[in-house]
Amino acid sequence: MNFRPHRRSDEPEINLIPFIDVLLVVLIFLMLSTTYSKFTEMQLRLPTADTDAQRNYPKEVIVAISSDGRYMINKTPIAGKTVDSMVIALGNAAKAGPESVIVISADASASHQSVITVMEAARRAGLHQITFATQSSAQAGRK
């Protein structure tokens, strides 16, 4: 007979390493599958920018785009709204040739397509220097 007292073995340990591994995999999965941008909450107010005073360039061609999609090149209205009519008008207005700078002055509520039409017409006319006119934040606040 064995009269020695039985020693109880140490209490079982919980191994945390597999648990941490599983949590890290779940965390990585959640980080990769979560999107952080919400387009419904985005509010845009364009175009305003804090810029230097407007300079006058002799080689510039100013293209104005109204909110209803009408175009004016150097304060002269353009009859058509197609890319082909814009190419002809830009070619006539660009007296400096390929060195001319196209300044797109679009209304803040003008459609994106009307701005793209001017850019495509400038590309077809061989005019590659394009910039956009904005108003300063202070001027936008006064209106």
Structurally, the chain folds into a number of domains equal to 1
Whole-number pLDDT of residue 80:
82
CB contact set of 81 (below 8 Å; sequence gap of 6+)? 69, 70, 71, 114, 117
The per-residue pLDDT for 11 is 74
In a domain, 122, yes or no: yes
Per-residue CA distances from 59 to 82, 86, 127, 131 (Å): 24, 18, 11, 13
For the chain of 143 residues, list the mean pLDDT of each consecutive stretch of 10.
Answer: 64 84 93 66 53 62 86 86 88 84 87 90 90 69 55
Within a domain: residue 110?
A: yes
- pLDDT, position 119: 92
User: E strands within the chain?
Assistant: 60-65, 71-73, 76-77, 101-106, 129-132
Global pTM?
0.56
- First-residue to last-residue Cα distance in the chain: 103
pLDDT at 66: 86
On whether residue 113 sits in a domain, the answer given is yes
Considering the domain boundaries, does residue 128 fall inside one?
yes
State the pLDDT at residue 138.
Answer: 57
The residue segments making up the domain with residue 118 are 60-142
Residue 49 falls inside a structural domain? no
Q: Say if 77 falls within a structural domain.
A: yes
Position 99 in a domain: yes
The phi, psi pair for 108, rounded to 5°, reads: -60, -30
| CATH number for the domain that contains residue 77 | 3.30.420.270
CA 122 to chain centre: 20
In a domain, 112, yes or no: yes
Work out the burial of residue 16: count CB atoms within 10 Å of its CB; fewer than 13 is exposed, 13-18 middle, 19 or more buried: exposed
